[in-house]
């Protein structure tokens, strides 16, 4: 009897430890620590790519778009000089639409009408968890639908995304609908599972097994999807419209090799720009002229 109790106690201890591991790492995913508004603004001011007075003075419309998950998506719409060219800017994880302003200005200068918005659980948008593209792709569809219902189904519509925002647009185009005229994916991860495996090794010095399989099971129970459900590399062949892939070679958070993999897998119209300078999500900051040249080259052909 004592042996049985010892065995049961041991099993219970192991199970409790496994659940604890799963809870810890899924908390890291679902409730990733976000930058404050002040931190985001400070970073953008230091880069001289955000000017608060200009932003406040700019003619813009505040918009609230219904998410299919019961909350409101917050954004700003800026009118450009071209009546039928539009672009949506999809920001990365931990930041918000302030981080998108520099990209919005880039396209406003090129005549585009621009919509910047906050992802779920970021900025002023609702939502309780971050899902690194899984639920965000459906919110992006809601934003696309809003644009088309307001301005017409036949508009030239692009989507620009950075980091998680880039992965989100690829997931949207490859698994929900190829609903934009073109896409610009700046430093996306090609596979969320492999990206997490990389960060586990770097940040925690841990192997992906058994951590990720445990976290995956717990995440499925807690937030309704699997880590493996977020994999742009698996859905990239479903995207027929043009994509410009961008990544900086020195990026040590998401390796540029992931973008090269995506580029190789993409069939049909595509272009690739690998920046020589800049860590993660700093391709534009560190290579402004070259970045804009890559954008212009792409737009000249596909927009």
The per-residue pLDDT for range 37-59, each reduced to its tens digit, is: 999 999 999 999 999 999 999 99
Lowest-pLDDT range of 5-9, 162-166, 265-269: 5-9
1 pLDDT more than 60: no
DSSP 140-203: HHHHHHHHHHHH-TTSEEEEEEETHHHHHHHHIIIII---SSEEEEES--S-HHHHHHHHIIII
Q: Give the separation between CA 153 and CA 82, rounded to whole angstroms.
A: 16
3-state helix, strand and coil shares in percent for the chain, rounded to the nearest 5: 50, 15, 35
Q: What is the mean pLDDT of the chain?
A: 94
Neighbours of 174 (CB within 10 A): 21
- In three-state secondary structure terms, 254 is coil
81 pLDDT more than 90: no
35 pLDDT more than 80: yes
Q: Report DSSP state, residue 256.
A: H
Q: Which residue has the higher pLDDT, 82 or 105?
A: 105
Q: Give the separation between CA 177 and CA 171, rounded to whole angstroms.
A: 9
296 pLDDT more than 70: yes
Alpha helices in 200-241 (DSSP H): 208-223, 232-235
Q: Report DSSP state, residue 72.
A: E
- In three-state secondary structure terms, 93 is coil
Q: Give the separation between CA 48 and CA 53, rounded to whole angstroms.
A: 13
- Kindly list the structural domains of the chain, giving each domain's residue range(s) and its CATH number in brackets, ordered by start: 1-30+193-223 (no CATH), 35-191+230-302 (3.40.50.1820)
**Tell me, what's the pLDDT at 82?**
79
């Amino acid at each position: 009897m004592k042996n049985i109790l010892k065995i049961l106690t041991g099993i219970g201890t192991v199970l409790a430890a496994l659940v604890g591991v799963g809870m810890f790492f899924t908390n890291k995913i679902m409730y990733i620590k976000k930058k404050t508004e002040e931190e985001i603004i400070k970073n953008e001011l230091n880069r001289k790519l955000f000017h608060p007075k200009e932003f406040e003075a700019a003619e813009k419309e505040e918009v609230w778009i219904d998410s299919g998950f019961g909350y409101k998506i917050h954004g700003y719409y800026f009118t450009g000089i071209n009546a039928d060219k539009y672009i949506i800017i999809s920001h990365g994880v931990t930041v918000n639409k302030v981080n998108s302003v520099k990209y919005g200005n880039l396209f406003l200068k090129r005549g585009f009408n621009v919509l910047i918005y906050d992802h779920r659980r970021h900025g002023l948008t609702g939502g309780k968890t971050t899902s690194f593209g899984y639920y965000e792709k459906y919110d992006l569809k809601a934003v696309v639908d809003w644009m088309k219902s307001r301005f017409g189904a036949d508009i030239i519509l692009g989507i620009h995304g950075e980091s998680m925002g880039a992965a989100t647009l690829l997931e949207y185009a490859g698994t929900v609908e190829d609903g934009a005229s073109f896409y610009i994916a700046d430093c996306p991860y090609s596979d969320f599972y492999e990206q997490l495996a990389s960060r586990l090794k770097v940040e925690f010095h841990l192997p992906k097994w058994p951590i990720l399989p445990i976290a995956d099971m717990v995440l499925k129970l807690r937030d309704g999807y699997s880590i493996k459900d977020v994999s742009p590399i698996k859905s990239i062949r479903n995207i027929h419209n043009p994509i410009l892939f961008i990544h900086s070679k020195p990026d040590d958070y998401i390796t540029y090799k992931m973008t090269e993999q995506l580029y190789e897998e993409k069939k049909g119209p595509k272009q690739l720009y690998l920046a020589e300078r800049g860590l993660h999500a700093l391709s534009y900051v560190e290579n402004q002229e070259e970045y804009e040249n890559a954008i212009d080259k792409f737009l000249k052909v596909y927009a």
